[in-house]
């Protein structure tokens, strides 16, 4: 599959239209390729949601369809002729005539399907998005084979796709193969800002820091002496290495609550790595940050 290069897309792929230019921009242009007409207004909240998604979808289609945006307050004539009763309203013109349309701010998936139907093809990134969704769903169901297949397909279609690289590394981590996960994530740029790449690297960092003692032994030491912060810290490392990130957060927060300056704030610093491993948007990270704030600012 070839992908659209944004630098080679036509300058008039997306433009602001008017009643005066409607015949040229929409009717005549649609005789060459489909044209979407986005009827909107500055005061329309849903328009502010839909229009950026429309622009993204049109660019992703790689020039297969154009977009003309019409401010109905400034240009009421054609909106009236087409009986636009609410906004946002989108009409698709083909061969000089309105061929399809919809009202309201619809999801991105529906936009892509609308454009695919209109152009008789598939938008440039549609396959990759679907495969990534399949991979994530399979991984969530612990279907490691299915997840690996989906992420591998994405890497074939788009070598260097950081989400797919991270996804494949997560498959290896879930399978207990940290060495292969480390080799895979090394395919992503060292300075990657991708949240999933950073999460995998944080998980690998946690795994490599695991102490030699068994969790049961460390738990016994903590139970015998709750003020033994080193034992509790080592327990948090063992918990994180075993994938129990919630347990690691609980252990580290217990240290911070008892002595926030312990060992040059080592527990607090380690919490940030655990949050990154869990994912910034995860419930573990969000809840942990809330609890940390309540301790620090109590």
- Residue among 14, 35, 47, 139 flagged as catalytic: 47
Residue 39, strand partner residues: 70, 89
Residue 229 CA to residue 235 CA, distance in Å, equals: 10
Confidence at 279, pLDDT banded by 50, 70, 90: confident
The end-to-end CA distance of the chain, in Å, is 56
- Residue among 35, 37, 44, 278 flagged as catalytic: 44
pLDDT at 290 over 60: yes
Confidence at 66, pLDDT banded by 50, 70, 90: very high
DSSP state letter for 8: G
Token pair in block for residue 5: 């290069």
Average pLDDT, the chain: 88
| 261 CB burial (10 A radius; 0-12, 13-18, 19+) | exposed
Residue 146 CA to residue 181 CA, distance in Å, equals: 17
pLDDT of residue 1: 27
DSSP 39-58: EE-TT-HHHHHHHHHHHHHH
pTM above 0.85, yes or no: no
Residue 134 CA to residue 143 CA, distance in Å, equals: 10
- Could you give the count of Cα atoms lying within 13 Å of 288 in the half-sphere of its Cβ? 30
pLDDT of residue 213: 58
Please state which of the ranges 122-126, 159-163, 224-228 shows the lowest mean pLDDT: 122-126
pLDDT at 4 over 60: no
Instruction: Please write the tens of the pLDDT for every residue from 42-59.
Output: 999 999 999 999 998 888
Instruction: Please write the tens of the pLDDT for every residue from 102-127.
Output: 999 888 878 888 888 888 754 445 67
Distance from the Cα of residue 284 to its chain's centroid: 18
Please state which of the ranges 14-23, 39-48, 70-79, 208-217 shows the lowest mean pLDDT: 208-217
Active site residue 240: no
Please state which of the ranges 124-133, 155-164, 283-292 shows the lowest mean pLDDT: 124-133
Query: In 141-261, where does DSSP find H-type helix?
Result: 144-157, 162-174, 178-185, 195-208, 215-224, 229-241, 245-258
Active site residue 30: no
């Amino acid at each position: 599959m070839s992908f659209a290069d944004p630098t080679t897309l036509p300058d008039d792929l997306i433009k602001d239209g008017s009643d005066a230019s409607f015949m040229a921009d929409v009717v005549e242009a649609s005789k060459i390729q489909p044209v979407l007409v986005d009827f909107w207004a500055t005061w329309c909240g849903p328009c502010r949601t839909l229009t950026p998604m429309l622009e993204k979808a049109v660019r992703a289609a790689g020039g297969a369809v154009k977009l003309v945006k019409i401010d109905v307050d400034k240009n009421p004539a054609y909106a009236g002729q087409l009986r636009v009763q609410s906004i946002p309203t989108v009409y698709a013109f083909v061969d000089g005539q309105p061929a399809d349309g919809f009202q309201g701010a619809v999801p991105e998936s529906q936009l892509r399907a609308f454009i695919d139907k209109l152009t008789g093809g598939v938008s440039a990134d549609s396959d990759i998005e679907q495969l990534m969704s399949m991979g994530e769903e399979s991984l969530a169901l612990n279907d490691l084979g299915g997840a690996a297949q989906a992420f591998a397909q994405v890497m074939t279609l788009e070598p260097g796709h950081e989400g797919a690289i991270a996804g494949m590394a997560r498959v290896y981590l879930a399978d207990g193969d940290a060495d292969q996960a480390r080799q895979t994530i090394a395919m992503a740029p060292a300075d990657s800002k991708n949240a999933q790449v950073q999460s995998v690297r944080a998980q690998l960092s946690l795994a490599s820091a695991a102490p030699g003692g068994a969790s049961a032994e460390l738990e016994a030491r903590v139970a015998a002496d709750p003020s033994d912060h080193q034992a509790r810290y080592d327990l948090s490392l063992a918990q994180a290495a075993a994938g129990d990130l919630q347990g690691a957060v609980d252990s580290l927060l217990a240290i911070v609550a008892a002595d926030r300056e312990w060992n040059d704030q080592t527990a607090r610093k380690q919490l940030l790595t655990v949050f990154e491993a869990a994912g910034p948007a995860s419930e573990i990270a969000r809840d942990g940050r809330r609890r940390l704030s309540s301790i620090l600012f109590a």
